Every structure is written in C-alpha cells, then in structure tokens.
Amino acid sequence: MIGDLLSTLLALDSRTWRTLPSLLFKPGFLSIEYFAGRRVRYVSPVRLFIFLCLTTFLVMRLSSDWTIDVSKVELEMAQVKDNFNSEQNVIVEGPESSERSTTKGIETGLNQAITNIDQGFLQIVSLPVSWSDWTNKEIAKARKNINRVSEDPNRFKKAFFSALPSTLLVMVPIFAMMLWVLYVFKRRLYMEHLIVTLHSHAFICFSLLLATLMMDAQEWLKNFRWIEVVFSWGLMFLVGWIPIYLLMMQKRIYQQSWLITLIKYTFLATSYPVLLAFCAAVTALYSLAEL
C-alpha cells in the first residue's frame, strides 16, 4: 500500500513535464485549466503540491550545513582582538575561550527565542488547560535540549526541515480561507480557493527548490566564474519573479481591477507571512523539544 502511494505521488510521466513549466512561467494557468475541466493532461494540484513540498524540504535538509566553523570564528575574533590589543596591550583569549563564547551565544539566543514565543503569544492567548500543560512541557523539553543543539546544530536542522512540510500543509487551508473571505462576493466555492492555494504554494516550493539547487551548484562549481554569474542572475530572477507571479496569478484568476487586486494582494502579502513566520517559530520550538 505504501508503495502504491509513493508511486502515485512520485511517478514522472508526460503530465509532469507539461505541468512544471506551466507552473513556473504561467501565473494562474493551471488553476484556470483545472476550473475549465482540462485536468487529465496535468498533474493534480494535491499531488503536485505534496511532491514539490516534500522534495524541496528534503533537498534543503540535505544541502544546508548548520555546523559552526569554530576555527573560522576564532580567526575572525583573533583578527579583531589583534587590532584592539595592538593599542590596548590586552592578552588574547585562547581558542577554547572562543569556542565557549560561541556556544554560549547560541544557547543565549535560543533561550531568548523560546522566551519570546512563550511570553509573546503562548502566555497571552487563553488556551485550554490541557493545551497549556502540553505547551509548558514542550517548552521545558526545548530548554533542556539547547545544549545538544549548540553542540550539533545540524541535529536541530534535520528535525526542523522534517517538520516544515506538515506546517505548510496546515497553512494551506488557512490561506484558502483567507482567499474565500477576501473574494466572498465572487461566489466561488471554498474548494476553488483551495485549488488556487495548492498551485500557488506548489510554485513557491518549486522556486525554493530551484534556488537551493542553484546555490548548491554555485558552491560545487565555484571555480567556474561564468557559471557562478549565471546562477546569480537566476537567483535574482526567482527573487523578483515570485511576488510578480503571485500578483499576476491573483489578477488572472479572480478577474478584478488592478486597484482592488493590489489592495487584496498587499493584505495577503503582509498578513500571511506573519502568520507563516509564527507557525514556523512554533515548528522550530516543537522540533527543538522533540530532539
């Protein structure tokens, strides 16, 4: 049964190669085709989103390295201290002290982040007693695991990127509900907004996947200057294309004036990232607690 599920999600056929270019370069095209009943020739929105979401965060998990290069930190600190000591005649701390100060800085930062999440939201919102007890236990567990993370940040990275797809999956129906509220007078079904949300989030995941691969390629081929330049331009294109794409997608699907579209787009572009950032912070806290 698991094999059949993976085959359904990951199988590559002609529909895949027809879907991905349209997803990347034609804002709103796949959603419009879906609403028009032309669905067989393209990958289904749910399958497309799940495939790209899982693939993107798997590649990000494998490609990034959160290990702190203590020797590099020591070198930078030594250079600063040499400049200072040349004038003040102060004794330079050894590498052990540099490593301790770096580790202490990580622990302090993580403790402060946990405190901000706890006091900034969890203590303000009136949660049921069972939920409050659970969050307090998770926070206590997270604080206990800070030492492990400061020693090996990649341990936290693996847990965090493994949990992010679930977080994004939870955010999809929330964003669809926001679209439904904003376009309630368009008399569209909630499922239509959900299809739009799946396609827009699939595009974002695909863009992040391409950006990650390009940054990895830059690192692998850094001796070839022209390749680094090409990928730098590619990354700049993706950064600029994402907001333009989402705006054009919203305009083409909902068929409202540019002014109304810009107002609603601005609201979504400011409110949704805040909500997404909060959920990512809670995911990070949970990942830290469950190490």
Encoded amino acid at 56, one letter: T
> The tokens 């390629």 sit on which residue?
217
pLDDT above 90 (res 108): no
SS3 per-residue string spanning 184-241 = HHHCCCHHHHHHHHHHHHHHHHHHHHHHHHHHHHHHHCCCCHHHHHHHHHHHHHHHHH
Using CA atoms, how far apart are residues 130 and 136, in angstroms rounded to an integer? 10
Q: State phi, psi for 25 to the nearest 5 degrees.
A: -115, -5
Portion of the chain with pLDDT greater than 70, in percent: 67
* DSSP per-residue codes, 136-160: HHHHHHHHHTHHHHHH-HHHHHHHH
The string of pLDDT tens digits covering residues 78-100 is 555 555 555 555 444 444 444 45
Closest by alpha carbon to 114, among 133, 140, 134?
Answer: 140
Mean pLDDT of 125-139: 66
Q: pTM for this structure?
A: 0.75
pLDDT higher at 277 or 135: 277
d(CA 198, CA 76): 45
Mean pLDDT of 28-49: 92
What is the band of 124 on the pLDDT scale with cuts at 50, 70, 90? low
Tokens of 233: 């331009």
**Mean pLDDT, residues 164-169 taken together:** 84
Predicted confidence (pLDDT) at residue 152 exceeds the cutoff of 90 = no
Cα 4-9-15 angle, rounded to 5 deg: 120
* pLDDT for residue 77: 46
Compute the C-alpha angle 169/201/268, nearest 5°: 100
- At 221, is the pLDDT very low, low, confident or very high (cuts 50, 70, 90)? confident
pLDDT at 185: 87
Those residues with Cβ within 8 angstroms of residue 106's Cβ, 6 or more apart along the chain or in another chain: 68, 146, 149, 150, 153
Q: How confident is the model at residue 15 (pLDDT cuts 50, 70, 90)?
A: confident
Checking 17-24 for CB contacts under 8 A at 24+ apart, the result is 18/42, 19/43, 19/48, 20/206, 23/48, 23/199, 23/202, 23/203, 23/206, 24/203, 24/206, 24/207
* Per-position DSSP letters for 82-131, written without gaps between them: HHHHHHH-PPPP-HHHHHHHHHHHHHHHHHHHHHHHIIIIITTS---HHH
Model confidence at 268, in pLDDT bands (50, 70, 90)? Answer: very high
Indicate whether 225 pLDDT > 60.
yes
Q: Which candidate, 28, 45, 19, places its Cα nearest to that of 248? A: 28
Ranking 35-44, 57-66, 90-99, 126-135 by mean pLDDT, the lowest is: 90-99
pLDDT value, residue 29: 95
pLDDT above 80 for 267: yes
214-to-47, 219, 238 alpha-carbon distances in Å = 24, 9, 11
pLDDT the model gives residue 192: 94
What is the separation, in whole angstroms, between the first and last Cα of the chain? 30
Residues in Cβ contact with 99 at an 8 Å cutoff, skipping those fewer than 6 apart: 70, 73, 74
pLDDT averaged over every residue in the chain: 77
Position with higher pLDDT, 99 vs 262 = 262
Structure tokens at 243: 């907001």
Residue 256 DSSP SS3: coil
What is the mean predicted confidence (pLDDT) over 174-185?
Answer: 93
Query: Which has more confidence, 32 or 118?
Result: 32
